[in-house]
Amino acid sequence: MAAPLIQLEGVTKRFGSRVTALDGLSLQVPEGTVCGLLGPNGSGKTTAIRIVLGLTPPSAGSAQLLGMVPGTEGFIGAVRQTGSLIEGPALYGRATARQNMEIQAATLGLRNAGTEIRELLGLVGLSDRADTNARGFSLGMKQRLGLALALLGRPRLVILDEPTNGLDPSGIVEIRELIKRLPERGATVLVSSHLLSEVQLMCDRATIINKGKLVADGTMDEILGSTGVGEGYKVYVRISQSEAAIVALERAGLEVEDKGQGSLVARGQIEDDSEITRILAESGIWLRGLMRERPDLERVFLSLTDGGGGEG
Amino acid sequence: MAVRAELLKIRSMPTPFWTGVAMLVCFAGGIAASVAWGVGEDDAVLDVAIGVPTSIGSLILGSWLAGVEFGQNTLRRVLSADPRRIHLVLVKLATVLLVVAVATLVLMLAGLIVYPLAGSGHETSFDFAMALRIVAACLVTNVTYATVALSLTLLTRSMAGGMTMTFVFFFVIDGLLSLIPKVGDYTIGVAQTDVDLAIRQQSEGIFETTATNSSELAALVLAGWILAFIVAGIARTLASEVK
């Protein structure tokens, strides 16, 4: 198995004597994946990213980016193969989108980047605004430009911190599809987002942290199955038969949640939907509707993070 | 390539542009003054129309090139592309000194050609040997201002803070330090005046200032101050968390 592109081992970060942003955090981002980094506000996501990029040193533990430790000679090469968008786009507001890209290309040491700059501005839908000052951009346009900056130089690893912030629904879909396609360009992606449904749609893996500690890490299927907040069925019966349906389903060993108005959610060891039909029919209850409820990241996240409340 | 990135910032944004415009306006004012009243004693037009504006411009540019990353909150982007902080400071310093030197030399060269012609209708003649000494003296002054401004901006981590501190340092703090007996002979201002007078081969400068130390000692003291500022700026950049 190839070495992970990002590796944190027992990383702790303290700010002063009172604030512990990260507390022994370990995580890995394997090559070729789109990995989500999730956590409530103040959980330490951005601090972890800043440590990976060498912007801030850990108080304890070690970080590696593309196998290189921040501060060592090879780390410069690792950073140059990494595109990042951290805490919103950092733009020279009085420079145009194209000039921002040219400045970044020069900082990265890229020569003759004109074609790539045009291509990337097109990719993020800013071709017609290439010569407009960035300070006149909407937040969504700034995010797009930030993403284009992160993709300059065809990086091997792309780190995106809340890349869909400020985007309208169609923009979110566009960016999501763009991020999903990045592995085709040879890029591994670490994306931090609070839009859990987006992360579920775009990521192969996820890492959930809370109060600076790792609470879950693995493939999306592993994460979704990690809490027992598994698949279930939405069961619709007549309101008058709700009580009887609950009794029948519970007698069959299922956990039942009454949503009211004849709507129930049944969870447990269910082979397929015919089993629900059979249990209810045997009790003389006729189904009005049955829908499979897939586990979603939001519920898993909330169960793992005590409702999502961070330290702030 | 790193210097090219800094040059692109200078080319792209309005503060350096308007600083350049202001210097050109002053240069044009020098032409008008030469036509009206001549080039002045000891080629004074060069000092007034080019020397003073370029020294203020150097101070502004030094502060701006370091402060633009704080003002635009782009330092994390720059360091995410190249994490070498000392390299970044040295690249910025090299860029600002290059721009300051080229701008000073180009304007001075143009002044050497244009001002004598513009002032030819007057009695005061243009002393080319003196003019070359003025060019050299201005270069030293501008390099000093640009370096100190850049360093103080790195220390304050703010463009406005750095610019303000540079003015306060040169026009207040340094003046107060120079009042201290003996120690005051080694301030940056005293050293700069001594070096300036030595280059100009004058015994008395503007505001009737006179040399305090030998030119060799003054040059050493000046270099020491500049080095100290650069080291302090680098140390602050290395020690700071990047927001």
Structure confidence by residue, pLDDT tens digits, A207-222: 988 888 888 888 887 8
DSSP code at position B170: I
Confidence of residue A312 (pLDDT cuts 50, 70, 90): very low
The ipTM assigned to this model is: 0.87
Q: How many helices (H) and strands (E) does chain B have?
A: 11, 0
Q: What is the pLDDT of residue A2?
A: 66
Q: Over 60: is that where the pLDDT of A90 sits? A: yes
Q: What is the mean pLDDT of chain A?
A: 87
Q: Is B82 on the interface with A (CB under 8 A)?
A: yes
Q: What is the pLDDT of residue B94?
A: 97
Q: What is the pLDDT of residue A311?
A: 41
Confidence of residue A297 (pLDDT cuts 50, 70, 90): confident
Q: What is the pLDDT of residue B32?
A: 96
**Strand runs labelled E in chain A:** 6-15, 19-29, 34-38, 60-65, 82-85, 157-161, 188-192, 205-210, 213-219, 232-236, 255-260, 263-267, 289-293
Determine the distance from the C-alpha atom of residue B183 to the mean position of all C-alpha atoms in its chain, rounded to a whole number: 24
CB atoms closer than 10 angstroms to residue A152: 21
Q: Where in chain A are all domains bearing CATH 3.40.50.300? A: 6-224
Pick from B77, B84, B88 the residue to mutate for testing the A interface (most A CBs within 10 Å).
B77
Q: What is the pLDDT of residue B146?
A: 97
Confidence of residue A194 (pLDDT cuts 50, 70, 90): confident
CB atoms closer than 10 angstroms to residue B213: 18
Q: What is the pLDDT of residue A310?
A: 46
Pick from A107, A132, A143, A159 the residue to mutate for testing the B interface (most B CBs within 10 Å).
A107
Q: What is the pLDDT of residue A228?
A: 58
Residue of A nearest to B16 (CA): A94
pLDDT tens digit sequence for A229-282: 556 788 999 989 999 999 999 998 888 888 888 999 888 777 777 888 999 999
Instruction: Report d(CA B101, CA B92) in Å as an integer.
Output: 14
**Cβ distance of B12 and A95 shorter than 8 Å:** yes
Confidence of residue A308 (pLDDT cuts 50, 70, 90): low
DSSP reduced 3-state for A154 = coil
Confidence of residue A307 (pLDDT cuts 50, 70, 90): low
Q: What is the pLDDT of residue A292?
A: 80
Q: What is the mean pLDDT of chain B?
A: 92
Q: What is the pLDDT of residue B207?
A: 63
Q: Is A109 on the interface with B (CB under 8 A)?
A: yes
pLDDT tens digit sequence for A18-31: 888 999 999 999 99
Q: Is A94 on the interface with B (CB under 8 A)?
A: yes
CB atoms closer than 10 angstroms to residue B223: 13
- The residue-averaged pLDDT of B4-12 equals 94
Strand A263-267, strand A82-85: pairing: unpaired
CA angle A101, A104, A106 (to 5 degrees): 110
For residues B39 and B213, which has the higher predicted lDDT (pLDDT)?
A: B39
- The residue-averaged pLDDT of A54-78 equals 92
A86–chain B nearest CA distance, Å: 8
**Cβ distance of A106 and B1 shorter than 8 Å:** yes
Across the A:B interface, residue pairs with CB atoms under 8 Å apart total 82
Q: What is the pLDDT of residue A140?
A: 85
Confidence of residue B103 (pLDDT cuts 50, 70, 90): very high
According to CATH, the topology of domain A232-294 is Alpha-Beta Plaits (3.30.70)
pLDDT tens digit sequence for B39-85: 888 889 999 999 999 999 999 999 999 999 998 889 999 999 998 99
Query: Among A76, A84, A95, whose Cβ lies nearest the Cβ of B13?
Result: A95
**Cβ distance of B81 and A106 shorter than 8 Å:** no
Question: Do the beta carbons of residue A164 and residue A172 sit within 8 Å?
Answer: yes
pLDDT tens digit sequence for A154-182: 999 999 998 888 788 888 888 888 888 88
Q: What is the pLDDT of residue B144?
A: 96
- Chain A hits for B68, CB-CB cut-off 8 Å, are 92
**Cβ distance of A54 and B72 shorter than 8 Å:** no
Domain spans of chain B, in order of start: 2-239
Q: Is B74 on the interface with A (CB under 8 A)?
A: yes
Helix runs in A44-195, H state only: 45-52, 75-80, 97-107, 114-123, 139-151, 169-181
Confidence of residue B170 (pLDDT cuts 50, 70, 90): very high
Instruction: Report d(CA B21, CA A228) in Å as an integer.
Output: 68
Q: Which CATH number fits domain A6-224: 3.30.70.60, 3.40.50.300, 3.20.20.150, 3.40.50.720?
A: 3.40.50.300
Confidence of residue B208 (pLDDT cuts 50, 70, 90): low
Confidence of residue A89 (pLDDT cuts 50, 70, 90): confident
Q: Over 80: is that where the pLDDT of B209 sits? A: no
Q: Is A54 on the interface with B (CB under 8 A)?
A: yes
Q: Over 70: is that where the pLDDT of B167 sits? A: yes
Instruction: Report d(CA B237, CA B75) in Å as an integer.
Output: 11
Q: Over 70: is that where the pLDDT of B192 sits? A: yes
Query: Among A50, A79, A92, whose Cβ lies nearest the Cβ of B81?
Result: A79
Q: Over 60: is that where the pLDDT of A126 sits? A: yes
Q: What is the pLDDT of residue A221?
A: 79
Q: What pTM was estimated for this model as a whole?
A: 0.83
Confidence of residue B205 (pLDDT cuts 50, 70, 90): low
